[in-house]
Amino acid sequence: MPELPEVETIARGLDPALRGRRIRSVDVLDAISAPQGAKPFAKRLTGRRVLAVRRRAKLLLLDLESDLVLAVHLRMTGGVTADLDTDEVRRFARIRFNLDDGGVFVFTDIRRFGSCQAFTPAELASWPFYASLGPEPLDMSPELFVERLGAGSRAVKAALLDQTTLAGVGNIYADESLFRAGIRPQDKTSALSAPRLRRLHKELQQVLTQAIRENGSSIRDYRDAGGNAGAFQNHFNVYGRAGEPCRVCGATLRGAKVGGRSTTYCPKCQPPSPPPSAV
């Protein structure tokens, strides 16, 4: 599933490619990808010029003229490419946005869980999914991070994945940041001191920044706006490596479930935290 670094990478690739170009027409090839209705969706977008492309959490947002926002929810296997004609794009194209200069950008989705919707800024702000999103992890101060993650008593990985607590982090970057911070995913947030949470904040920001620099992570389906794979998967310390040796200490990495999600951690590099009464 594309997470913050992948969506940010797509947005950065699309912005210079699409800025200033006008949507001449919209072909909805799969109605499930346009939940507002194929015809109303296409009509609302036709004739609008693209002003900018940006990201919020795991959403791709295209700002259009006359106060309209195209919100693309990539979900598990969604993607957006610009002026790219490949067998894969043709096979999995769900919506084609035809541009005034003869070019095209395409929403693709292998498993058909993603969607595209058109909103005014007010409609976007009142969309329950959008309204519930927490702050961006790359913009959070250490103090705010400690305040939001330290509240309550739940598994720290579950807190990282809660999009209302902070937005954009998924399984990959939660596992990798917890490993670098030396924190076990199952540890309760109430057992973590403020200094340990501040370290987690620092490691999470560094992991996300590095992943963006590496074009995201390509495990199966993800490609950027130009069809290129990411490279951060080459730097995974724990994600998807249960049963393999830790690259730092050599201990066998363990798999577990936290909040219903698969998790991998090192029993030696990520020792369990003491209970809250002992902290």
User: What residues are labeled active site?
Assistant: 2-3, 58, 261
The alpha carbon torsion through 33, 39, 43, 49 (nearest 10 deg) reads 20
Print burial letters for 67-91: b (CB count within 10 Å at least 16), e (below 16).
ebbbbbbbeebbbbbbbbeeeebee
Give the integer Cα–Cα distance in Å for 2 and 244.
25
Smallest Cα–Cα separation from 64: which of 31, 30, 97? Answer: 97
Calculate the alpha carbon distances from 231 to 77, 104, 208 in Å: 17, 26, 13
Cα separation values, 29 from 21, 24, 127, Å: 22, 16, 25
Is residue 113 within 8 A of residue 77, CB to CB? The reply is: yes
Strands 78-82 and 261-265 come out as unpaired
Consecutive H or E run containing 272: none
